[in-house]
Structure 1
Amino acid sequence: MTPDAQTLYAVTEATWPPARIETRGPVTLRDGAGGGKRVSAATATRALTPDELTDAEAAMRGLAQGALFQIRAGDDALDAMLSDQGYRVVDPVNLYVAPVAALTVETPPRVTTFSVWEPLEIMREIWAEGSIGPARIAVMERATCPKTGLFGRHDNRPAAVGYAGLHQGVVMVHALEVRAAHRRAGMGRWIMIEAAHWAARHGAAHIAVLCTKQNAAANGLYASMGFAPVGYYHYRQKD
């Protein structure tokens, strides 16, 4: 059975975890430790009262984070309430999934891609070039699920990196980065195929990825590889 959006929300949390989680009534607060929106955004099970919202905002400020909520499927009332309170929409994201077996019919060319953990220094350098710095690598390092780094070479040079984690039979790929000099050479596709082979070796049935809706090139890549959209989320941020 194809994983649904609720499953992929859980897979995201397990494979790309915040440093700490705290629940206050209907609100789940996340301490991202500088690791970006995905690990810092609060979620809520319903629309909040004024006092609950004030409390959540104070708690986020206490973590040295801005007022930020992730809005998932079914959060329409929360979304409307935050809009009324001056929160703007930021970074709508598509959730994609594909069967592992559909991607493992191909094998990357010899010495093109590798699965390796812990990340090599050159992998860290490529991530840094794409603004994926130590705080985001720390997210990968603290994940307790089965995981791997993904490393790709093109024209005998280090060209691409990624990270993948496994939860509930789904491997999710994060932090896919291709060096500018090696784009349009198919490296993103080969990294995803390498991730699928790693997933198959670890018994996963599906592979998933998140992609901002504005990233036309990446959305096109995943569609061309047979990934199907199964859900979405966006953020509400108060400046």
Structure 2
Amino acid sequence: MVKAVVITPVKNAIETTLDTAKAISESDIKVKHIIFNDFSSEDTREKLEANRAIFGYELIHLEDFVSKPSPNYDYVLQKGQSIALDEKLPMIIVESDVVVKKDTFSRLLDFLALNEKSGMIGAITVDEVGMTNFPYLKFKNEKKNVIQTERSLSFCCTLISLPLLKQFDLNRLERSKDWFDTTISKMSINLGFRNFVLNDVQVWHRPHGSRPWKQLKYTNPIKYYWQKFILGRDKI
């Protein structure tokens, strides 16, 4: 029986994407995994098609449905919400630079079952040696296994509960923005839900692997901030 709807937005970065898909396919519970191809290259499209039967994901090419250039995270979230509501299941976002463990989803769902007023539940992100990394560096010295937070949760690997999906229509997201983790985190709190990061549920995160241009922040900050502020990329 399927226990959750898992969505993964993809913009190229095919090698990390396939790592993500493989790990999800090896989960200890059954999930409905949907990859949203957000105007990737033709090579990426072909490789996604070639591997869908191997890893068991469904594949939606956004170019077949929307005309707006990527990022189309709003459409991905809205479509994911619609599917999750139809299935009456929580939605888990796993980005294409994240590798989950076999028990990641089952542990998120176990926590949800014991904490019914949860709105969002995030797995902590770590590097290849298990050290807390971006975007959860703010919690790197935290010793508690369960961190209740009113700060925004990243969508690296985050569960959105079915009650929150029922109460907050993601079609209301501002189209002028690119990313919505802050918006939905705040709305969860405003609606009376609680948000958590599970410090003992770790996923391997390769920062910005799903958006390689953001590596410019470290290698060429002038070019990065030109794209961010002059070209208006990465609006949150």
Q: TM-score, normalised by structure 2?
A: 0.31
**Higher share in strand:** 1
Q: Higher relative CO (CA 8 A, sep ≥ 6), structure 1 or 2?
A: 1
Give the TM-score, by structure 1 length.
0.30
User: More helix by proportion, 1 or 2?
Assistant: 2
